[in-house]
Structure 1
Amino acid sequence: MSAQPPDGAPHPDSFASVFDVYEVRRDDGRVLYFGDPRADRQTIEEAVWPAFREQGYEVRLARRTGEAVLVAEPRDANEDRGVPWTNVALFVATLASTLFVGANWYYVDPFSPEVVRALPFTLSVVGVLAVHELGHYAMSRYHDVDASLPYFIPFPSLFGTMGAVIRMRGRIPDRRALFDIGAAGPLAGLVAAVAVSAVGLWLPPVTVPAEFLASSAAVEVQFAYPPLLEAVAAVIGEPLSYSDPAKSVNPVVMGGWIGMFVTFLNLIPVGQLDGGHVLRSLVGEHADRVAPLVPTALFALAGYQWFVADAGDTAGIWIVWGVIATLVTFAGGVDPVDDASLDRRRVAVGVLTFVLGALCFMPVPIQIVG
Structure 2
Amino acid sequence: MNDTLKKIPYLNLFLFILTIITTLIAGSYMEGGNILSLHDLKLGIPFSFTLLTILGFHEFGHYFYAKKNKISVSLPYFIPAPTFIGTFGALIKIKSPISNKKALLEIGASGPIAGFIITIPLLFYGFTKSTVIEINSETSIVLGESLIIRFFTFLVFPDISQSQDIMLHPIAFASWIGLLITMLNLLPIGQLDGGHIVYAIFGKNHHMISKIFFLFLIPLSFLSINWIIWGLVIFILMKTLKHPPILDFDTVLTFREKLIGFVCLLIFIISFIPVPFEI
How high is the TM-score relative to the length of structure 1? Answer: 0.67
Query: Map of 1:127-276 to 2, 5 A cutoff?
Result: 127-203=53-129, 205=131, 220-235=140-155, 237-238=156-157, 248-276=167-195
Identical amino acids, percent of aligned pairs: 28
Alpha-carbon separation, structure 2, partners of 1:277 and 1:204: 36
Q: Which residue of 2 aligns with 1:119?
A: 45
2:214 equivalent among 285, 295, 313: 295
After superposition, the C-alpha distances for 1:153-200 in whole angstroms (9 at most, x for unaligned) are 111222111110000011111100000000000000001111210121
Cα gap change, 1:142 to 1:81, in 2 (>3 Å): farther
- Between 120-129 and 293-302, the greater mean CA deviation after superposition: 293-302
Q: Secondary structure at the match of 1:110?
A: coil
1:321 aligns with 2:230: yes
Alpha-carbon shift at residue 110 of structure 1 (Å): 2.1
- Between 223-232 and 275-284, the greater mean CA deviation after superposition: 223-232
Which amino acid letter does the alignment assign opposite residue 337 of structure 1? Answer: L
Q: Which residue of 1 aligns with 2:261?
A: 350
Please identify which structure carries the higher helix content: 2
CA contact (8 A) 1:172 1:336 kept: yes
Alpha-carbon shift at residue 233 of structure 1 (Å): 3.9
Gaps of 5+ in 2: none
Alpha-carbon separation, structure 2, partners of 1:207 and 1:356: 29
Pick 1 or 2: higher relative contact order, CA cutoff 8 A, min separation 6: 2
Q: Which residue of 1 aligns with 2:248?
A: 338
After superposition, the C-alpha distances for 1:111-170 in whole angstroms (9 at most, x for unaligned) are 231320220111001110110000000101111101111111111222111110000011
Alpha-carbon separation, structure 2, partners of 1:239 and 1:258: 23
Alpha-carbon separation, structure 2, partners of 1:122 and 1:336: 37
Alpha-carbon separation, structure 2, partners of 1:240 and 1:331: 45
Q: Which residue of 2 aligns with 1:33?
A: none
Cα gap change, 1:117 to 1:326, in 2 (>3 Å): closer
Q: Secondary structure at the match of 2:79?
A: strand
Which amino acid letter does the alignment assign opposite residue 298 of structure 1? Answer: L
Alpha-carbon separation, structure 2, partners of 1:107 and 1:345: 49
Cα gap change, 1:114 to 1:121, in 2 (>3 Å): same
Q: Which residue of 2 aligns with 1:99?
A: 24
Alpha-carbon separation, structure 2, partners of 1:207 and 1:291: 41
Alpha-carbon separation, structure 2, partners of 1:262 and 1:241: 27
If you compute each CA radius of gyration, which structure gives the higher value, 1 or 2?
1
Alpha-carbon shift at residue 87 of structure 1 (Å): 0.7
Alpha-carbon shift at residue 202 of structure 1 (Å): 2.2
Cα gap change, 1:241 to 1:330, in 2 (>3 Å): farther
Q: Secondary structure at the match of 1:147?
A: coil
CA contact (8 A) 1:271 1:333 kept: yes
Alpha-carbon separation, structure 2, partners of 1:229 and 1:329: 33
2:196 equivalent among 277, 290, 297: 277
Cα gap change, 1:298 to 1:240, in 2 (>3 Å): farther
Alpha-carbon separation, structure 2, partners of 1:88 and 1:354: 33
Alpha-carbon shift at residue 204 of structure 1 (Å): 5.1
1:88 aligns with 2:13: yes
Alpha-carbon shift at residue 268 of structure 1 (Å): 1.1
Alpha-carbon separation, structure 1, partners of 2:56 and 2:31: 23
Alpha-carbon separation, structure 2, partners of 1:367 and 1:272: 29
Please identify which structure carries the higher strand content: 1
What root-mean-square deviation, in Å, do the aligned CA atoms of Structure 1 and Structure 2 show?
2.6
CA contact (8 A) 1:153 1:163 kept: yes
CA contact (8 A) 1:282 1:341 kept: no
In the comparison of the two structures, how many residue pairs are matched? Answer: 271
